[in-house]
Amino acid sequence: MKKVITGDHAVAIGAKLSRAEVVPAYPITPQTLIIEHIADFVNDGEMDAKFLTMESEHSVMSAATAASAAGARVFTATSSQGLAFMHEMLYATAPLRLPIVMVNANRTLGGPPGIWCEHNDSMGARDSGWLQVYVEDNQEALDMVIQSYRIAEDKRVLLPVMPCIDGFVLTHTVEPVDVPQQQDVDSFLPPYMPDITLDPAKPALFNTLMLPEYIMELRRQTAGAFESAKKVISEINDEFAKKFGRDYGGMIDTYRMEDAEVALITIGTVTSTSREVVDELRKEGEKVGIVKLRFFRPFPAEDLKRVLSGVGAIGVFDRSISYHGGGHVFNEVCSALYGITKPIINHLAGIGGRDVTKEVIIKMFDLTLKAAKGEKVKEINWHNTRGETV
Amino acid sequence: MFEVRFHGRGGQGAVMAAQTLAEAAVIEGNYAVAFPFFGAERRGAPVLAFTRIDAKKIYSKTQVYAPDCVVVLDDSLLDTIDVVAGLKPQGTVVINSKEKPEDIDLGKEIRTASVNATSVALEILKAPITNTAILGSFAKATGIIKIESLEEAIKSRFGEKLGEKVGERNALAARTAYENTVIGKSRGIKKLEPRKQWLPTYQEMPVGGVLVEGITEAGLIGPGSFIENKVYGWATFRPVRDREKCTMCLLCWFYCPEGTIVRISDKGDLMTNYDYCKGCGVCANECPVDAIKMVRARV
Ligand code: SF4
Ligand code: SF4
């Protein structure tokens, strides 16, 4: 059934279709609509969930962790300062291997205060033990909530997942979304059946003090789950594609990469605009393509190596700055492609919510094409930034 | 380089002893470092501390595995811990014990100095805190540090924290122990089985480290496993309750950090399970009618 809805609405429907049982929440722009829609669903009896209004995001993640440990399927959503406020609890959830799904509406992390799209908020949580997937439209946002539960609850993974959606660009934009049927989602996503839960009748110790004799093995175990997640993500993507007819590619997606001489690695909604730019540049005879980075954790190092083997230069778009010089994606791509001698050019744009226009994306391709031809190009480029030349 | 490992129990001041020894070494113009190993610390639990002394700057930041000297602040540790593990063959053990070295079985014949530091401490400090006394014995046994330097370090460290008087009393405890130290050779009869530990590989580790009741070759794990952790050996004192005075207010039951005071019935009597009483005295301190007296559990 097609519905013309916002990204936030799509995410809320995704949580409802996934039959989330506990939703602790604290509102924050631009995530607020998600919480409001879920509150309505629960109030109207459309969704059989315990909706908990908490006093802070720190408490939200505490409640989410406890509810998940008790065996419930848990959903929540946050953004920016809210994600920062629950930072401590993010680190408690993941090593416990609790399959919570939390949508982050990407927003500037102050200071300076700002409510518009930027990836600095979720990038700061990249090493908290959560899987992260970035989406490009409202359909993918809804679908990834459902897929995220399958990934998170898979016994080979058992890790929390954070689907990231660009603030305002998706959260407050309406577009047509094909809403899956409940019975189809039910057959795709069976109920959550954990082996051990918080149960007074069968006591268990969760998150107890661990001496140095144990923590290294626990960390190694968690790292192993991230490795296994790569295969699981791809399997579940294929299963979803078969059932619902939408194939997102798994860890990454590619667009017109077959004979591309230059690739731009994109993340979030800029992928979407870049598809049109690629079509236009292709018409002009430029052999360009896109590699859409979907999962940032685990990082798709092997996939990138495979799809980028034929190109002459790689452009990397970042909507966040890591203060080592470039952005987070650039950092990881360089690390993943270590040993490859082709130029890797970082394109910083859209930070603080500045619109990433087609002109800016064309400029990214231009610079990367120049680098492919052996011309000298700066490694790190601040696009559309006063005082900078690109 | 001279390396020392201190074995004590939480509350006995092993860490302070290690630090004070380091300060004394520095007073003599040497370089020294001292550091604790913090386990799941609480009053009475076995603790470790280390001191390294050298003429030049010490760069090593690891624990000490082959000490030149082992200092044991509490001889009840000998039942469960192989204190001489890794000790160099020419090394020395300095031990708080009422026994002579010849009567102390360390599972190894080794140069040993003994002193009844608990008695010294009770007499001079009025508390069973043996860390300064045992340092005096260390000075006598090893000759690594002059007793005068130790006294100066003790006065400075303890004096600064607890007042000049306390500093002087502790220096006196060190001097008294120094003079009463007996040096000889330990016996080497008993075989101390190394304590079995549950050390799962990362694949064997329960997912997320979440533990249910279970048994391993090292004993119980998970909820309820603490039952194996008897702590009576930690106690210098044990509580004795005067039933006549007791008003059944239950404050002792509430405050006991080991949960070892048991309500036999809702109305009925209280019972202290001495297997799990570490002798901390919290119950006696909390009792509003002074119905609990702490009596010496061992000498
Ligand atoms: S001395 Fe008292 S408070 Fe301390 S462990 Fe024993 S019974 Fe409990
Ligand atoms: S605190 Fe004292 S009076 Fe109260 S129950 Fe314990 S022993 Fe009795």
Q: Over chain B, what is the mean pLDDT?
A: 92
Q: Read off the pLDDT of residues B230-269 as tens digits, 9 standing for 90 and up.
A: 888 778 789 999 989 999 999 999 999 988 999 987 766 8
- pLDDT for B46 equals 86
**pLDDT tens-digit series, residues A313-355:** 999 999 999 998 899 999 999 999 999 999 999 999 999 999 9
Residue B282 CA: nearest ligand 1 atom is 3
| Residues B251 and B139 both lie in one domain | no
Residues B137 and B258 in one domain: no
A–B interface: beta-carbon pairs under 8 A: 58
Query: What's residue B268's pLDDT?
Result: 63
- Which ligand sits nearest to residue B275's alpha carbon? 1
For chain A, the structural domain boundaries read 2-244, 252-382
Residue B152 lies in a domain: yes
Q: Does A162 touch chain B (CB under 8 A)?
A: no
Domain presence at residue B265: yes
Ligand in closest contact with the CA of B239: 1
Q: Whose CA is nearest to atom 1 of ligand 2?
A: B287
Which CATH fold would you assign to the domain A252-382?
Answer: Rossmann fold (3.40.50)
Of B185, B206, B223, which residue constitutes the final position of a domain?
B185
For residue B267, the distance in angstroms to the closest alpha carbon of chain A comes to: 26
The pLDDT tens digits for B68-110 are: 999 999 988 898 889 999 999 999 999 999 999 999 999 999 9
Nearest CA in chain A to B38: A211
Please tell me if residue B184 touches chain A, with a CB cutoff of 8 Å. Answer: no
Contacts of B263 by beta carbon, 8 Å cutoff, 6+ apart:
B250, B253, B270
The dotted CATH code for A2-244 is 3.40.50.970
Are B158 and B275 within one domain? no
Asked whether residue B203 is assigned to any structural domain, the reply reads: no
Residue A348: per-residue pLDDT: 98
Query: Is residue A16's pLDDT more than 90?
Result: yes
Domain of residue B238, CATH code: 3.30.70.20
Q: What is the DSSP letter of A47?
A: S
Question: Could you check whether A2-244 and A252-382 share the same CATH topology?
Answer: yes
Q: For the segment A35-66, what is each residue's pLDDT rounded down to a tens digit?
A: 999 999 999 999 999 999 999 999 999 999 99
Which pLDDT score is estimated for B299? 46
CA of B279 to the centre of ligand 1 (A): 5
- Quick check: B215 pLDDT over 50? yes
Q: Is A379 on the interface with B (CB under 8 A)?
A: no
Count of structural domains within chain B: 2
Q: What is the ipTM of this complex?
A: 0.90
Q: Is A227 on the interface with B (CB under 8 A)?
A: no
Q: Which protein residue's CA is at the shortest distance from atom 4 of ligand 1?
A: B280
In a domain, residue B99? The reply is yes
Over range A308-313, report the average pLDDT. Answer: 96
pLDDT above 60 (res A206): yes
- What residues contact A355, with CB distance under 8 A and at least 6 apart? none
pLDDT of residue A265: 98
B129 vs A185 pLDDT, higher one = A185
Do B145 and B249 fall into the same domain? Answer: no
CB interface of A with B, residues 65-94, below 8 Å:
none
Choose the final residue of a domain: B185, B215, B240: B185
In ligand 2, which atom is closest to the CA atom of B242?
7
Does a structural domain hold residue B45? yes
**Distance to chain B for A377, nearest Cα, Å:** 45
Q: What is the mean pLDDT of residues B2-31?
A: 95
Ligand 1 test: best mutation among B9, B277, B285, B286, most atoms within 8 Å of CB? B277
Ligand with an atom nearest the CA of residue B291 = 2
Q: Are B57 and B175 contained in the same domain?
A: yes
Average pLDDT for residues B125-146, to the nearest whole number? 95
- Is residue B48 a part of any domain in this protein? yes
Domain that holds residue B52: 2-185
Residue B92 included in any domain: yes
When pLDDT is averaged across residues A239-265 and rounded to a whole number, the result is 98
* In contact, B210 and A205? CB cutoff 8 Å: yes
Residues of B in contact with A214 (CB under 8 A): 200, 205, 209
Looking at residue B40, its pLDDT comes to 67
Residue B70: CATH number of its domain: 3.40.920.10
From B40, B203, B212, residue closest to A211, measured CB to CB: B40
Structure-model confidence comparison of residues B272 and A77, the more confident one: A77
* Mean pLDDT of chain A, nearest integer: 97
Which domain-ending residue is among B185, B208, B242?
B185
